[in-house]
Amino acid sequence: MGVVAPIKDYHVLEQMKKYLRERSLRNYLLFRIGVNLGLPVQELLQLKIEDILNRDSFSNGKYYIRISESLQRDIQHYVASRTSGYMFTSAQGNPLSRFQLYSILKNVAESIGYNRPVGAMTLRKTFAYWAYCDYLIYLPLLSKYLNHHTVQHTLRYIDIAEEEESNVCLIAVDL
């Protein structure tokens, strides 16, 4: 398996969201939560409804992450009357696997003509990239959140060369 990259183009993010929203509410929400909360892949796939429903923030035990109002509405719409259980399940009722997540992302990337490598880690890397670039999260704090030992590791993780670090910030978005 090759190295995957964060999605750095806002228009690509919007295309992916639109594609997923039209085809599968589950996959759309999986994508949105992935790029907005930056959870490790296994935590994302094991997420339970009761952990996130009707909350304005999500805690992974050490950090609180704000959940936007639009994401809260999407979550409520998706779960409808369910109040417990896994958030993202397969047809058999089991949590989605890492491979299923990879397949979803690979399919959407191919469908919209996105040629950069994607995989299960793309969502977390995309969160980290936009958190650093647009929301100006202090790099050492982001490194700590990602459980990285150095900020240089975080910059490599989000595919930013050190020489371009000072030029990277763009416009603020709600992913």
Per-residue pLDDT of the chain (175 residues; tens, 9 = 90+): 578 999 999 999 999 999 999 999 999 999 999 999 999 999 999 999 998 988 888 887 778 888 999 999 999 999 987 888 999 999 898 999 999 999 999 999 999 999 999 999 999 999 999 999 887 688 899 999 999 999 999 999 999 875 455 555 544 456 6
- Give the DSSP per-residue string, 95-113: BPPHHHHHHHHHHHHHHHT
Residues 10-120: name the CATH superfamily: Intergrase catalytic core (1.10.443.10)
Question: What pLDDT does 175 receive?
Answer: 63
**Which residues neighbour 132 within 8 Å (Cβ) at sequence distance 6 or greater?**
139, 142, 154, 158, 160, 168
Alpha-carbon gap, residue 7 to 124, rounded angstroms: 10
Question: DSSP letter at 59?
Answer: E
pTM over 0.85: yes
Ramachandran assignment for 85, one of left (phi > 0), alpha (psi -120 to 50 degrees), beta (any other): left
- As given in the structure block, the two tokens for residue 172 are 């603020």
